[in-house]
Structure 1
């Protein structure tokens, strides 16, 4: 398998992995089972992958991880909106 195709497929799968969780949170408006620390660590790691992609000039790394950052920031926003004080 061509390594670019492999990278794109891996990037797409990891990027969309949190979408079902985001949809569930939006529908139920419940974030009790979401770990804030996990979200912050994940967003930090994904952001570093974006930076790494820029340093290596690898568009699949940049795009897939930037999309994942946006999905997880959306989840973080939902966390802040729906958490119980």
Structure 2
């Protein structure tokens, strides 16, 4: 149980780390300094973590990465929208 909670807390910090970038993009509508390639690769990697979490039935991997994937897709969408 402790290990699962530790994993969820760690995943929570990773997810929260994306929020300042999302907020900055939404308020400034500027994405020129954001690497498109980085967010494409990050989305692929996060998707694979979600698949891994599903296959191994590890909640501490699955839940944070589903949320992180949504945030990463949001950033990628905003990058493509605002160039």
Structure 1 length normalisation: TM-score?
0.92
- Tell me how far 1:28 sits from its aligned partner: 0.2
**TM-aligned CA deviation for residue 4 of structure 1:** 1.3
Per the alignment, residue 44 of structure 2 pairs with: 44
Moved over 6 A (4+): none
Gaps (5+ residues) in structure 1?
none
Q: CA deviation at 1:60?
A: 2.1
Q: Secondary structure at the match of 2:13?
A: helix
Report the Cα distance in structure 2 between the residues aligned to 1:66 and 1:50, rounded to whole angstroms: 6
Q: What is the aligned length?
A: 83
Q: CA RMSD in A?
A: 1.2
3-state DSSP class of the match of 1:9? helix
Deviation at 1:61, TM superposition (A): 1.1
CA displacement at 1:24 relative to structure 2 = 0.1
| Equivalent residue, structure 2, for 1:62 | 62
Structure 2: unaligned runs, 5 residues or longer: none
Q: Deviations over 1:60-85 (max 9, x none)?
A: 211100100000101111111111xx
| TM norm structure 2 | 0.94
Instruction: Name the SS of the counterpart of 2:42 in structure 1.
Output: helix
